[in-house]
Chain A
Amino acid sequence: MATVSVPKAHWSGRRSTLASIRLAVLTFLADPQWLIPSMIAPIVFGFVSFELFLGTPDLVVYVILGAGMMSMWGQTLYGSGWATGQDRNIGTLEPTLSAPTPYVFVVLGRILWNVVSGLIGIVLVFVVVVVATGTVPSIDNPVAFVVLFVFTMLTLAAVGTVFAAAYVYTRYAGFIQNVGEFAFYIGTGCMFPIVILPFWTNPIALLFPPSWALDALRYASIPGYVGFSWGLGWDVVGGVATTAIYLLIAGIVFKRVERHVLEVGNLQEY
């Protein structure tokens, strides 16, 4: 090995996040099992949504948003947490943590990729529904729709980051996630608007940023949509506020969790 003098290495959050995205893409491409959550599951969700909203005006938009968001949520929640769980299983958590980059950037890259790969699902549902119904949906406010769509992705990423911290904390995080997954699907309004659920569920749902963002997204895309009484504007404010809180929590939790796992020494457990 040649001893060439090289500039001193310095980690960068941006580069580590991009490296993590690259790894996630390579893993995705290398593993056919990802076809199930990213392509097959959205179509199944689409059929369920179709049955659920049959007879509703703007059925097509409801179906696309319902099934698409289910898919994105699943990808984000499952993918971000699962990838960290996988790091435990295959023994890469220790080498990754022994690098100078804070682990949160690795998680962030994975979540961003999972959110984007969730888009594959929403596009797929769109194509299937348009072909099946012969209807091209009309969006009430296309610009607001696109902006709020990106915003919804960010709210999903914020929740995914907190979940990923749980996977670093304990090998039992998968159990907690599996138990809570369907409650999240329903409780955050992925499949259908929260307002149709009993009122007592609403305050709980509002603890999660996607609940606000999804309501805003429906306001922007479905004419005459009746969601939370405060309307689109306050949905956005609530979504921004809860997302900021989640990102803050994720930052604090990650630091504490990293310290905690060094204290208890459970990094190698799987």
Chain B
Amino acid sequence: MSSVPAIEARGITRVFQSRKGFFYQDVTRTEALRGVDLTIETGEIFGLLGPNGAGKTTLTKILTTLLLPTSGTARVLGLDVTKDTERLRARIGLVLGGERGLYNRISARENLRYFADLYGIPLAEREKRVNEVLEWVGLTWAADRRTEEYSRGMKQKLHIARGILHRPEVLFLDEPTIGLDPKSARETRKLIRSLLGEGVTIFLTTHYMFEAEELCHRIGVLSRGRLAAIDTVAGLRELVGGDRTLEAEDYGFEDSELAAVRHLPGVSKVVSEEYGPVTRLTIRVRTGDLTIDTVRQSLIGHGGLQVRERRTSLEDVYLDLVEEEAR
């Protein structure tokens, strides 16, 4: 493993200004990133989660030299993202998802040839490399078809093919499976996972918890421009109170009952939510001592009480962190 981190960001902030009005006199300032610190090691798949507008794409663009930070420093492969842009761009790949970003009137092969030339892939290697990535993403059969005839999933695969064409050391994937059908999304995840075997460091932004949980070594949760947490999935579960979650449901609970549950041994957190007439207590359990029966006993007198146990999901973790940040 290299001694230089693949990605290192310190105190990154980014403020966007938009102007409105006939004379553009109304200036609105939006703080998209507020002091992000991040270190990602070589060979890691790092996932960045966050709600819409949290700053995921902004951070991705800063790290890929497509946007300048308002303040702070960022280095990718030891190169400054604001000063060593040309050298850095040759060593990183960017996959922006979606329908856009391709020359639709020409074939996938021609799209790739064009970008191979812009990346300076040796001419003698170009065709081999284009064929290689087309085969890798499973698009050889459609390589000479115009990309306007491609489905969303095929376009996404072509985006990935373009992103890895020049064999980047770090690959940035911005919501690579958004809008894909389940089969295409699964295939895309499979492709991403197999990149690890090639020694590529991957920076992935996504909305999908299971995707992050399935693919990533570590996950950062970005909320309102701030990294609310960064850890492994297990570490994040610990952070929000434990690996086990019990849920108790009935038609309302007294404050004293809530307090009693909170004081049960091993309970780290209790959240009460109303679902119409039903109240659900989500009980985060830090140790294995607490059982469903113990909860039932502390809520005795509730005839319709239902208690069940499940593993704390990444979604629980995510929602807890985002809500805490919002408070």
Contacts and interface: CB of A to CB of B under 8 A. Distances in A.
B237 interface: no
B251 interface: no
A21 B200 CA distance: 32
Interface stretch (B34-42, B96-104, B285-293): B96-104
Contacts of A10: 90, 120
A91 B119 contact: no
B94 interface: yes
Interface residues of B, number: 48
Given A6-B167, A7-B125, A19-B117, A98 B66 contact: yes
Contact of A262 (B17, B66, B135): B66
Contact of B119 (A11, A90, A94, A262): A11
Nearest to A9: B120
B96 A2 contact: no
B110 A19 contact: no
Interface residues of A, number: 38
A9 B122 contact: yes
Interface stretch (A24-32, A45-53, A74-82, A217-225): A24-32
A92 B159 CA distance: 11
Contacts of B87: 100
A30 B106 contact: yes
A268 B294 CA distance: 55
A18 B96 contact: no
A98 B64 CA distance: 7
Interface of B: 14, 16-17, 58, 61, 64-68, 86-87, 89-90, 94, 96, 98, 100-106, 110, 113-115, 117-123, 125, 129, 132-133, 135-136, 146, 162, 164, 166-167, 194, 198
Interface of A: 1-3, 6-7, 9-12, 15-16, 18-19, 22-23, 26-27, 30-31, 90-92, 94-102, 106, 259, 262-265, 267
Which 9 residue pairs across A and B have the least CB separation, nearest first?
A91-B100, A19-B117, A11-B120, A99-B118, A30-B105, A91-B101, A100-B89, A9-B120, A100-B90
